[in-house]
């Protein structure tokens, strides 16, 4: 057992059931996240066997003045899951997925959404809102809030949970729900771990069809694209929709990817082109896998920096802000495989009280998914400056930063921080 802290703390050194590692390989892996923009090497990594292990290490960190940071899938991009000389709690070892009970499913926080749908789809069930990328951890998604293509109907992922097990910054293990310690339940959802570490979740489930009918709607005009998104929000006809801007032949095209039952038609929308088809629901939720596999095969996924910026814009300012950003945006400003996300959510649907949202009836998700080639420090610096300006601009307009250090201030108790 490795001893931490000053001499007076040595008798109280943590003794988890799981593994508290100081192996170089574990420290090196925990020193970086998906963003690949910064490096902070911890002094130890805890691989907990139980939630009690997490509680013990948080109590120890508070006593010894050591920063404790939980890590799910490590998919943060701005160092939220990193700590210099602190202790990382790697929640990947808390990954059990229970058997669905009615329309509820108990899942440990380190489980990936891929494992969740593997357990539910054979029963014709799924969570109401899923992230596009299924290798995110459940706990990390809930700590951020979690938005997706079904958020226009069901809100954020954090709005669809029945209860949570949480380790508070004081090191207490507490179960909370809308009726049991509701203040804690509200505090931990969508606040990036500022009020505790989620260790287990009960997810709500809904029936899903075996087949999904998909439509790709293309626009040449940003205003028409956004107006149709308002129509889809005000009178939902699709179970799922997201939008993006795509640069083609030197000009921008705008695309809505919509999906739903056979009777959900794109008729009456202003798209200049419509492509329709159908696929199995299982294939639909895994639709990003080929793109990720391609990026992994090229090495970009693991090697390159990913300076991404996601903001929530007020609907009244969305068109002007997006047009201004895209006007001078070149392919090199996004990098290889980069993309621009644009999709609308009724703000009232984002019910978790601490979830970032825009000061407007309509919240428009605007995401710059950039990639800077490895070693290209000038491009990375330029992208980071552009991202920082976008965050400042969004907040000044009454919007919000999403899943970003500026979205919330992390609690510090005796120099111990909990963040996802």
Per-residue pLDDT 10s for the chain (420 aa) are: 333 343 344 446 789 999 999 999 999 999 999 999 999 999 999 999 999 999 999 999 999 999 999 999 999 999 999 999 999 999 999 999 999 999 999 999 999 999 999 999 999 999 999 999 999 999 999 999 999 999 999 999 999 999 999 999 999 999 999 999 999 999 999 998 889 999 999 999 999 999 999 999 999 999 999 999 999 999 889 999 999 999 988 899 999 999 999 999 999 999 999 999 999 999 999 999 999 999 999 999 999 999 999 999 999 999 999 999 999 898 889 998 899 999 999 999 999 999 999 999 999 999 999 999 999 999 999 999 999 999 999 999 999 999 876 543 333 333 333 333
Q: What residue spans define the domains of the chain?
A: 10-93+409-417, 104-207, 211-405
**E strand or H helix at 88:** strand 87-90
Alpha-carbon distances of 41 from 48, 271, 384, 389, 393, rounded to whole Å: 19, 49, 22, 28, 32
Predicted local distance difference test score (pLDDT) of residue 277: 97
The single-letter DSSP state of residue 164 is: E
Predicted local distance difference test score (pLDDT) of residue 53: 98
Question: Using CA atoms, how far apart are residues 386 and 368, in angstroms rounded to an integer?
Answer: 10
Question: Using CA atoms, how far apart are residues 407 and 311, in angstroms rounded to an integer?
Answer: 9
Dihedral pair phi/psi, residue 275, rounded to 5° = -120, 130
Predicted local distance difference test score (pLDDT) of residue 12: 66
* CATH fold for domain 10-93+409-417: 3.30.43
Is the CB of residue 326 less than 8 Å from the CB of residue 320? no
**Best CATH choice for the domain 211-405 from the list 2.40.50.140, 3.40.630.10, 3.65.10.10, 3.40.462.10:** 3.40.462.10
Question: Using CA atoms, how far apart are residues 266 and 280, in angstroms rounded to an integer?
Answer: 20
**Best CATH choice for the domain 104-207 from the list 3.20.20.150, 2.30.30.100, 3.30.2130.10, 3.30.465.10:** 3.30.465.10
Q: 20: exposed, middle or buried (C-beta count within 10 Å: 0-12, 13-18, 19+)?
A: buried
Question: Using CA atoms, how far apart are residues 183 and 164, in angstroms rounded to an integer?
Answer: 12
Is the CB of residue 155 less than 8 Å from the CB of residue 350? yes
**E strand or H helix at 293:** helix 289-298
The single-letter DSSP state of residue 389 is: H
Helix (H, G, I), strand (E, B) or coil at 398: coil
Strand partners, 45: 21, 88
Alpha-carbon distances of 148 from 106, 132, 140, 297, 345, rounded to whole Å: 21, 6, 15, 26, 9
The two structure tokens encoding residue 381: 């610096």
Strand partners, 416: 413
Predicted local distance difference test score (pLDDT) of residue 2: 36
Is the CB of residue 406 less than 8 Å from the CB of residue 389? no
Helix (H, G, I), strand (E, B) or coil at 70: strand
Is the CB of residue 127 less than 8 Å from the CB of residue 138? no
Quick one: residue 350, left, alpha or beta (phi over 0 = left, psi -120 to 50 = alpha)?
A: beta
Is the CB of residue 221 less than 8 Å from the CB of residue 336? no
Q: 183: exposed, middle or buried (C-beta count within 10 Å: 0-12, 13-18, 19+)?
A: exposed
Predicted local distance difference test score (pLDDT) of residue 406: 52
Rg (CA), the chain: 21
The two structure tokens encoding residue 364: 């428009």
List b or e across 5-18, with b for residues whose CB sees 16 or more CB atoms inside 10 angstroms.
Answer: eeeeeeeeebebeb
Is the CB of residue 151 less than 8 Å from the CB of residue 168? no
Which of 197, 246, 194 shows the shortest CA–CA distance to 225? 246
């Amino acid at each position: 057992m490795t001893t931490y802290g000053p001499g007076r703390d040595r008798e109280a050194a943590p003794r988890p059931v799981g593994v508290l590692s100081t192996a170089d390989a574990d420290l090196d892996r925990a020193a970086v996240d998906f963003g690949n923009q910064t490096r902070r090497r911890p002094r130890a990594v805890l691989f907990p066997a139980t939630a009690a292990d997490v509680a013990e290490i948080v109590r120890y960190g508070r006593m010894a003045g050591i920063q404790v940071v939980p890590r799910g899938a490590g998919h943060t991009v701005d160092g939220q899951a990193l700590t210099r000389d602190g202790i990382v709690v790697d929640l990947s070892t808390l990954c059990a997925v229970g058997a669905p009970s009615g329309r509820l499913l108990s899942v440990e926080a380190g489980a990936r959404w891929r494992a969740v749908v593997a357990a539910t789809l054979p029963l014709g069930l799924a969570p109401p809102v899923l992230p596009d990328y299924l290798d995110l951890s459940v706990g990390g998604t809930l700590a951020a809030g979690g938005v997706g293509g079904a958020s226009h109907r069901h809100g954020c992922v954090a709005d669809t949970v029945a209860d949570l097990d949480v380790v508070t910054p004081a090191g207490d293990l507490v179960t909370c729900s809308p009726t049991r310690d509701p203040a804690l339940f509200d505090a931990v959802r969508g606040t990036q771990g500022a009020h505790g570490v989620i260790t287990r979740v009960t997810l709500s489930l809904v029936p899903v069809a075996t087949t999904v009918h998909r439509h790709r709607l293309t626009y040449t005009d940003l205003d028409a694209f956004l107006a149709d998104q308002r129509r889809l929000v005000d009178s939902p006809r699709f179970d799922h929709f997201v939008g993006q801007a795509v640069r083609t032949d030197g000009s921008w095209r705008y695309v809505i990817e919509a999906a739903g039952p056979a009777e959900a038609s794109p008729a009456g929308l202003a798209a200049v082109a419509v492509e329709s088809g159908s696929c199995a629901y299982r294939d639909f939720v895994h639709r990003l896998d080929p793109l990720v596999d391609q990026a992994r095969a090229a090495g970009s996924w693991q090697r390159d920096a990913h300076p991404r910026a996601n903001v929530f814009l007020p609907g009244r300012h969305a068109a002007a802000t997006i047009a201004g950003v895209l006007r001078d945006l070149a392919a090199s400003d996004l990098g290889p495989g980069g993309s621009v996300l644009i999709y609308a959510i009724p703000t009232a649907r984002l019910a978790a009280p601490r979830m970032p949202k825009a000061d407007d009836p309509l919240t428009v998700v605007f995401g710059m998914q950039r990639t800077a080639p490895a070693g290209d420090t000038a491009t990375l610096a330029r992208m980071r400056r552009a991202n920082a300006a976008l965050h400042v601009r969004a907040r000044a307009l009454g919007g919000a930063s999403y899943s970003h250090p500026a979205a919330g201030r992390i609690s510090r108790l005796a120099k111990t921080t909990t963040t996802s």
